[in-house]
Amino acid sequence: VRLAKHPDFEIDGPNLVHEIEVAPWEAVLGTQVRVPTLEGPVSIKVPPGTQNEQRLRVRGRGLPQRGGTRGDLLVGVRVEVPKEVNESERSLWEQLARESKFNPRS
């Protein structure tokens, strides 16, 4: 049996995988995002401190299995950085760079 590619999901065993993009500030501060499921969209919480390529799990929203159980929906998070910023945004990023003690290379 060959399955056609779905526009919203990839299959990983009993689980469905969906990818979302979030802004850097959404990854740091957290946000709510609507994601598709087989039954229609649901709102999920992207917790503060979410990392690039982190997977969030929505239990029971994957593929139906024998015995009445279901797999999960795995939501892959991709942090997207703006390609262009205006002067005000650049100033805010520079202020953050000066004040933050975070160093990803330490």
| CATH number for the domain that contains residue 33 | 2.60.260.20
Asked if residue 22 is part of any domain, the answer here is: yes
Return the pLDDT at 99.
Answer: 96
pLDDT at 67 over 80: yes
Please state, in angstroms and rounded to a whole number, the distance separating the CA atoms of residues 13 and 99: 45
Return the pLDDT at 19.
Answer: 98
Asked if residue 104 is part of any domain, the answer here is: no
pLDDT digits (tens, 9 = 90+) for 6-41: 889 999 999 999 999 999 999 999 999 999 999 999
pTM assigned to the model: 0.89
pLDDT at 69 over 90: yes
Return the pLDDT at 4.
Answer: 82
Listing DSSP states for the chain in one string gives --PPPPSS-EEETTEEEEEEEE-HHHHHH-EEEEE--TTS-EEEEE-TTPPTT-EEEETT-S-B-GGG-B--EEEEEEEPPPS---HHHHHHHHHHHHH----TT-
Domain membership of residue 65 as a residue range? 10-99
Asked if residue 2 is part of any domain, the answer here is: no
Asked if residue 70 is part of any domain, the answer here is: yes
pLDDT at 1 over 80: no
Asked if residue 80 is part of any domain, the answer here is: yes
Give residue 69's identity as a one-letter amino acid code. Answer: T
Return the pLDDT at 95.
Answer: 97
Instruction: Count how many domains the chain has.
Output: 1
pLDDT at 5 over 90: no
